[in-house]
Structure 1
Amino acid sequence: MRVMVFVKATADSERGEMPSADLLAAMGRFNEDLAAAGIMADGGGLKPTSQGRRVAFDGDGRRVIDGPFAPASEQVAGFWVWNVRDMAEAVEWAKRCPNPMPGPSELEIRPFYEDADFA
């Protein structure tokens, strides 16, 4: 199954603070482990929401909303797309991840819809 793993934003990431060299190295090793195991299909870090835009839809109308977006804890700072056997395997890999932020942080794991879901 495919899952998307979201790295939830924090106040630090929303301020645009870059991870330490040690954290970047640890995350690089983790990504190498994911790739070597055939788990990681894609991934990346996202700039703060202050550099983002939203497009709101209401019928035929469109409205552009400039960031930043609050609260920080409900935003996404990065992501991976993983190919795993099941949710249990995704959770086990997530538990191996270095803490992606300098303080408390969260990963959120969400499965993709698959063709069988639309049968």
Structure 2
Amino acid sequence: MPKYMLIMRGTDETNEALMASIDEAMAATGRFIEDMMKAGVLLAAEGLDDPSRGVVVDFGAEAPVVTDGPYGETRELFGGYFLLDVATRQEAIEWAKRVPAVRGSKIEVRRVAEADEVPPGGESNGQV
């Protein structure tokens, strides 16, 4: 079966709203994870640390430049992910619609490319 990643995307504002009700959010997320486990579709789920403790490695110059967080102009932050093993894209979307996210957040649904879809030499074949 294909694998799909549900990527949690938020903003500074949605992260603030999440932190204001963190106990409730964690309980709801725990129930959601249990539902996915019971359905046998969950492969992995991880949340990311606060962006202020991250770094950015920027390849815009000749040598990579490392910058400590918080980042400059941030419009969206990746907060974590769920990795699912489901039969179809539509099934992944249905799970994404059930993520207990705060208003203003987004869930990006992306299929995980299979190893045989990446051609030798790293050129894209349009399927990824």
Indicate yes or no: 2:85 matched with 1:76.
no
Give me the whole-angstrom Cα distance separating, in 1, the residues matched to 2:5 and 2:59.
25
Alpha-carbon RMSD: 2.3
Paired residue for 1:54?
Answer: 56
Label 1:89 to 1:15 Cα distance change in 2 as closer, same or farther (>3 A).
closer
Give me the whole-angstrom Cα distance separating, in 2, the residues matched to 1:57 and 1:104.
30
| Partner AA of 1:106 in structure 2 | K
Q: How many residues align?
A: 116
Give me the whole-angstrom Cα distance separating, in 1, the residues matched to 2:116 and 2:37.
26
Indicate yes or no: 2:46 matched with 1:8.
no
Query: Is residue 18–residue 25 contact of structure 2 (8 Å, CA) maintained in 1?
Result: no
SS at match of 1:54: strand
| Partner AA of 2:6 in structure 1 | V
Deviation at 1:90, TM superposition (A): 0.2
Deviation at 1:56, TM superposition (A): 2.1
> Structure 2: where are the runs of 5+ without partners?
120-128
Indicate yes or no: 2:94 matched with 1:92.
yes
Indicate yes or no: 2:29 matched with 1:23.
no
Paired residue for 2:122?
Answer: none
Deviating 4+ runs (over 4 angstroms): none
With structure 1 as the length reference, what TM-score do the two structures score? 0.82
SS at match of 1:61: coil
Label 1:54 to 1:15 Cα distance change in 2 as closer, same or farther (>3 A).
farther
| Partner AA of 2:36 in structure 1 | L
Paired residue for 1:65?
Answer: 67
- Which structure has the larger Rg? 2
| Partner AA of 2:9 in structure 1 | K
With structure 2 as the length reference, what TM-score do the two structures score? 0.77
Taking every aligned residue pair, what percent have the same amino acid on both sides? Answer: 32
The CA deviation string for residues 86-112 of structure 1, in whole angstroms up to 9 with x for no partner, is 1100001111222x22x3211011111
